Amino acid sequence: MSRAKKFMYINRHAPCGTVYAVEGLEVVLIGAAFEQDVCMAFIGDGVFQLQQDQDTADTGMKNFSPAYRALGDYEVNRLYVERESLQERGLTEEDLMPLTWEDEDEDWAEKSSIYIVDQAQLSDLMDEQDIILNF
């Protein structure tokens, strides 16, 4: 294989209500083993996936949100969150889980994995990708 391909996983659904978010995250975690150039995008209700303090206890469903914290260890450290989607839902970056990764090249400095981008920036990022998977 000549080079790693650019993969973007787009998350468009809320963490609860449908299975898309949790099964989408499974693909990202499995896919990390393939050492491709991976990023994720969160748009529409998908931004709720990263919300802090999720509690599913009363729904009888598993709270899988802690699994997002593992992404940094899998070198999935570019999570693009669409600014307009946050604003439409009354959310700010402070409402999101603090997701970080450790930069090996800078003495394991802890860095944020979350990038707030607007629609136009996200559109440009999508243009750069080889593979886009939608969940």
Which of residues 30 and 126 has its CB atom nearest to other proteins in the complex? 30
Nearest approach, Cβ of residue 85 and other proteins (Å):
18
Helices (H) and strands (E) in the chain, counts: 3, 7
Q: Is there binding between residue 131 and other proteins (CB under 8 A)?
A: yes
C-alpha distances in angstroms, 45 versus 97, 99, 103, 108?
16, 19, 30, 33
CA distance 69 to 103: 15
Cβ proximity of 27 and 40 under 8 Å: no
Stretch that binds other proteins, among 43-51, 91-99, 115-123, 127-135 (CB under 8 A): 127-135
CA distance 21 to 73: 19
Which of residues 109 and 131 has its CB atom nearest to other proteins in the complex? 131
- Of residues 19-38, those binding other proteins (CB under 8 A): 19-20, 23, 26-27, 30-31, 33-34, 36
Nearest approach, Cβ of residue 132 and other proteins (Å):
8
E strand residue ranges, 22-70: 37-42
Which of residues 5 and 111 has its CB atom nearest to other proteins in the complex? 5
What does the radius of gyration of the chain's CA atoms come to, in whole angstroms? Answer: 15
Nearest approach, Cβ of residue 19 and other proteins (Å):
6
Residues that bind other proteins in the complex, under the rule CB under 8 A: 1, 5, 7, 19-20, 23, 26-27, 30-31, 33-34, 36, 130-135
